Amino acid sequence: EDQVTQSPEALRLQEGESSSLNCSYTVSGLRGLFWYRQDPGKGPEFLFTLYSAGEEKEKERLKATLTKKESFLHITAPKPEDSATYLCAVFYTGNQFYFGTGTSLTVIP
């Protein structure tokens, strides 16, 4: 069965402590992988799109990478304002976006 799994479910970091979030997928015919940030009570905010293995995208303290089986969201020197839930979504044959359950990130000052 096609699946998207995010790990860890929750992550607590000290300010400045870099780490990575993982999104692994088993869907066939991947046509795009998307990272979103979601704050409580808000809709997901688009961060990155990755279309092919080996692709990388960067934005401020965030860097997303993609392999044939997984994607990583690297957070360098995080700040408290980076605290949020990070969602990945895959788009594959069937014209549907399938979201993972997210990683809840807390950055402690």
By CB under 8 A, residue 45 contacts other proteins: yes
DSSP designation for 50: E
By CB under 8 A, residue 44 contacts other proteins: yes
36, 4 in Cβ contact below 8 A?
Answer: no
* Distance of alpha carbon 5 from alpha carbon 26, whole angstroms: 9
**Choices 14-22, 43-51, 57-65, 75-83 (CB under 8 A): range interacting with other proteins:** 43-51
Count the residues in the chain: 109
Helix (H, G, I), strand (E, B) or coil at 82: helix
92, 31 in Cβ contact below 8 A?
Answer: yes
Contact set for other proteins, span 81-100 (CB under 8 A): 87, 89, 91, 95-100
Shortest reach from residue 15's CB to other proteins, in Å: 25
By CB under 8 A, residue 25 contacts other proteins: no
Which of residues 43 and 54 has its CB atom nearest to other proteins in the complex?
43
Write phi, then psi, for 3 (nearest 5 degrees): -150, 150
User: Which residue type sits at 84?
Assistant: A
**Choices 28-36, 57-65, 66-74, 75-83 (CB under 8 A): range interacting with other proteins:** 28-36
Point out which residues bind other proteins (CB under 8 A).
31-32, 34, 36, 41-46, 49, 51, 87, 89, 91, 95-102
